[in-house]
Amino acid sequence: MKKRLVVIGNGMAGMRTVEEVLEANPNAYNITVFGAEPYGNYNRIMLSPVLSGEKTVEDIMINDRQWYKDNDITLHAGESKAVVAIDRKHKIVTTQDGTEAPYDKLLIATGSNPFVLPVPGHELDGVISFRGIFDVNTMLQYTKTHRHAVVLGGGLLGLEAANGLRQRGMHVTVLHNSDILLNRQLDRTAAVMLQDELEGRGIHFKMQAKTESLEGNEHGHVRAVKFADGTELPCDLFVMAIGVRPNQTLAQSAGLHCERGIVVNDTLQTFDPSIYAVGECVQHRGQTFGLVAPVFDQAKVCANHLCQHGVAEYKTLPSATKLKVSGIHLFSVGEFNGDDDCQFQHFHDPKLQVYKRLVFRGQRLVGAVVYGNTIDGGWYQQLVEQETNVSHFRTVMIFGQAYANAVTEQLTESNVSTTSQMEVA
């Protein structure tokens, strides 16, 4: 008899885990999925191309409703189907409309919530986050009827939102609290190159901006951003893109151990052996997650244990950064700034708009920033993740994998030739 697996969260983390379970043992569970959005599973990281007009919502659907039927999965989707309680004693979850589902194993994949800057006026109409299809549809409506958009946050999501709104014809200003863009992913040189490129596309920036309040009109709609120095910036649409926080409210109310996220062990199991958690809602060895690659790794490990194969353990690897803005190529991985124990290699060609910065600690590559030509980004990431000893080709790594391989082959051939001559002698 099949056991019952209930999944709270119909996003990429939860459904990737379900896919892995189906692949590992399709007869292991009767699966029930609860999701607060009225859709199948979609690729959330591709919302930016939908906003910019390069893709449609249909294009980014990973699993439509038919997929759930084809795999005998019961899907409860929509706001009323959001799970509001977990009864761990009786192993039952309850939704907002009273629907109940018993479980043998429970998977929590509630994702994260966007951080909202708690300034006066943050509840005005026209103030939104950039998190789901609803947000994208709202922004698309504004592009047809309004002109001035302000995006709070010069990180990946903020820049992607700004680019999409600009491509839709809005006047866009990005507010950022640092003096450089993507300050958690890029060094100053790469960040300046990026800002120059985006300014060339018509996006405006106000760096080290201190937002004091959002001002509304007589209809309760945002009309301007007011700064600490008293100046104002016209605003019809204010998009907050300043990070996310693990959505652990449900887990906390169920008495699961939480800190910054739902605490899980190396098998993605919570402190309750019947309950697992994956994705942006979890905390593993002190770390939380906001990128897709680690979430998919978690899904594979979690499914392994749900199917009682019990051999895999999750290990956090350095995550790479890529910006989803058409025509802009940048890549960052690992310790891109380094420390006093690190050594550096640089390459910068302003005319070609190419920049590379490699960071070494001893004979290992620990970080890289690449702007312009990112063809070697995957290679650098692999070297960082595998902690490869790069001593035999370190001096030429800045020129890329192909050149480094050629040099390595020459050295190998030279060593073989020398050895042969010694043997003859």
Q: How confident is the model at residue 317 (pLDDT cuts 50, 70, 90)?
A: confident
Q: How confident is the model at residue 238 (pLDDT cuts 50, 70, 90)?
A: very high
pLDDT in tens, 2-49: 999 999 999 999 999 999 999 999 999 999 999 999 999 999 999 999
Mean pLDDT on 219-235: 97
**Closest of 323, 288, 302, 258 to residue 112, by C-alpha:** 288
Fold that domain 3-113+245-306 belongs to in CATH: FAD/NAD(P)-binding domain (3.50.50)
In this predicted structure, the answer to whether residue 212 has a pLDDT above a threshold of 60 is yes
Cβ neighbours of residue 339 under 8 Å, at least 6 residues apart? Answer: none
Cβ neighbours of residue 395 under 8 Å, at least 6 residues apart? Answer: none
pLDDT in tens, 366-424: 999 999 999 999 999 999 999 999 999 999 999 999 999 998 888 666 655 554 444 55
pLDDT in tens, 137-192: 999 999 999 999 999 999 999 999 999 999 999 999 999 999 999 999 999 999 99
Which CATH number is associated with domain 329-414? 3.30.390.30
pLDDT computed for residue 310 by the predictor: 76
Q: What is the residue whose two structure tokens read 């998009």? A: 239
pLDDT computed for residue 412 by the predictor: 67
**Closest of 4, 417, 57, 8 to residue 251, by C-alpha:** 8
- Domain boundaries of the chain, sorted by first residue: 3-113+245-306, 127-240, 329-414
pLDDT in tens, 260-302: 999 999 999 999 999 999 999 999 999 999 888 899 999 999 9
Helix 12-24 and helix 292-306, axial crossing angle in degrees, nearest 10: 40
Report how far apart, in Å, the C-alpha atoms of 309 and of each of 264, 283, 296, 302 are: 18, 23, 18, 10
Q: Do domains 3-113+245-306 and 127-240 have the same CATH topology?
A: yes
Which backbone phi and psi does 165 adopt, to 5 degrees? -65, -40
The encoded tokens of residue 115 equal 């951080």
pLDDT in tens, 54-96: 999 999 999 999 999 999 999 999 999 999 999 999 999 999 9
Q: How confident is the model at residue 319 (pLDDT cuts 50, 70, 90)?
A: confident
What's the predicted TM-score (pTM) here? Answer: 0.92
pLDDT computed for residue 413 by the predictor: 65
Q: How confident is the model at residue 324 (pLDDT cuts 50, 70, 90)?
A: confident
Mean pLDDT on 118-124: 98
* DSSP letters spanning 189-215: HHHHHHHHHHHHTT-EEEET--EEEEE
For 102, the 3-state DSSP assignment is: strand
In contact, 52 and 46? CB cutoff 8 Å: no
Q: How far apart are CA 266 and CA 246, in angstroms?
A: 18
Cβ neighbours of residue 260 under 8 Å, at least 6 residues apart? Answer: 246, 283, 288
Q: How confident is the model at residue 425 (pLDDT cuts 50, 70, 90)?
A: low
How many CB atoms within 10 Å of residue 324? 18
Summary mean pLDDT of the chain: 95
Quick one: 127-240 is in which CATH superfamily?
FAD/NAD(P)-binding domain (3.50.50.60)
